């Protein structure tokens, strides 16, 4: 969708605070349903991943988009549907990687997904590049998926396949410890409870399927995301505790090693992250020519709703992401 004539991003006046800007995407936003299919790919470690793929004929050299979703996200997420819309309109192929446990059924192995797990995204990139060697590939990550993407970009640097032309990361929790402490403050406790409502049952299901994880049953007493990660995410994936997990999985230390054109789009009023972290991000990428930051004052978490008419909103983030990637595909 093109922006309304003569309009740059102007936060919607009818979403006056960060929480309304955040919740509008889930509660008020409408996106057209496009034809998609879900494929299951067996992984080298004996497990599987699922990809939601945009249907339609695309040539072998058509640009491709690979999207990484946020915490407990998936094909239902408004930003995923919006990016599929953008890709469809531009003639791109598009895939959404569903992280382990976020697909149609629990994965086979005990491991799950987390904010710093980059091996699955890296493997999927390799598969896409191998299948479509002549197609430029753009990567996009949102929230948790944005942290995963930034960490992957920094880890691999120049070693990324040349087909990867650019990347966009939206509403990233660059400092996981700071984000975990911040999200449960005030009204933010609503978000925390929302995530825990699905995270804890999924964790208990995994424990039931893998008796060797019985010691992690204490996760059922978690009342915050920090307590959840301390009881389940960290020990399951080899971290000492939540603090160790956050320190090692945060993308902030990796930003200076990014070697592909990358846009970081976050709002200063994001209720999932204290504003000071964005100052740390700006300092961390100062002098890094490959990274562009855009941190408007308002937008909420994965919100960025614009335009003056509530009955005809315009969604800036997905348009901005697609426009940024299109310029790299054409270069």
Report how far residue 324's alpha carbon sits from residue 329's, in angstroms, rounded to the nearest whole number: 9
Spatial CB neighbours of 278, under 8 Å, sequence gap ≥ 6: 174, 266, 268, 295
301 is catalytic: yes
Q: What tokens appear for 67 in the block?
A: 């999207």
Query: Out of 112, 143, 171, 306, which one is annotated catalytic?
Result: 143
195: its two tokens: 């995530």
d(CA 321, CA 324): 5
Residue 237 falls in the annotated catalytic set: no
First to last CA, the chain: 22
Catalytic, out of 78, 250, 301, 306: 301
Active site residue 270: yes
Of 95, 175, 230, 270, the active-site residue reads 270
Rg (CA), the chain: 19
- Assign 84 to helix, strand or coil: helix
Query: Maximum distance among all alpha carbons in the chain?
Result: 60
Which residues are part of the catalytic machinery?
A: 143, 270, 301
């Amino acid at each position: 969708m093109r922006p309304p004539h003569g309009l740059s991003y102007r936060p919607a006046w009818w979403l006056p605070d960060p929480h309304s800007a955040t919740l509008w995407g889930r509660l008020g936003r409408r996106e057209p349903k496009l034809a998609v299919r879900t494929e299951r790919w067996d992984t080298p470690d004996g497990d599987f991943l699922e990809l939601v793929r945009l249907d339609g004929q695309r040539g072998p050299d058509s640009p491709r988009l690979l999207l990484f979703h946020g915490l407990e996200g998936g094909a239902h997420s408004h930003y995923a549907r919006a990016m599929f819309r953008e890709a469809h309109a531009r003639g791109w192929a598009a895939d959404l990687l569903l992280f382990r446990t976020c697909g149609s059924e629990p994965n086979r192995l005990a491991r799950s997904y987390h904010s710093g797990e980059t091996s699955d995204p890296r493997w999927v990139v390799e598969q896409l590049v191998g299948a479509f060697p002549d197609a430029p590939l753009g990567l996009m990550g949102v929230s948790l998926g944005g942290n995963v993407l930034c960490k992957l970009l920094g880890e691999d640097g120049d070693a990324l396949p040349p087909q990867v032309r650019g990347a966009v990361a939206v509403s990233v929790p660059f400092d996981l410890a700071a984000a975990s402490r911040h999200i449960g403050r005030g009204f933010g406790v609503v978000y925390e409870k929302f995530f825990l409502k699905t995270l804890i049952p999924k964790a208990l299901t995994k424990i039931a399927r893998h008796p060797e994880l019985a010691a992690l049953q204490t996760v059922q007493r978690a009342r915050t995301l920090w307590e959840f990660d301390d009881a389940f995410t960290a020990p399951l994936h080899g971290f000492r505790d939540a603090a160790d997990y956050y320190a090692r999985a945060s993308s902030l230390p990796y930003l200076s090693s990014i070697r592909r054109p990358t846009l970081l789009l976050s709002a200063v009023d994001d209720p999932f992250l204290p504003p000071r972290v964005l100052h740390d991000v700006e300092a961390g990428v100062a002098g890094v020519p490959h990274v562009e930051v855009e941190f408007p004052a308002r937008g909420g978490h994965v919100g960025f709703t614009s335009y003056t008419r509530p009955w005809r909103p315009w969604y800036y983030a997905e348009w901005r992401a697609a426009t940024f990637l299109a310029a790299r595909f054409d270069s």
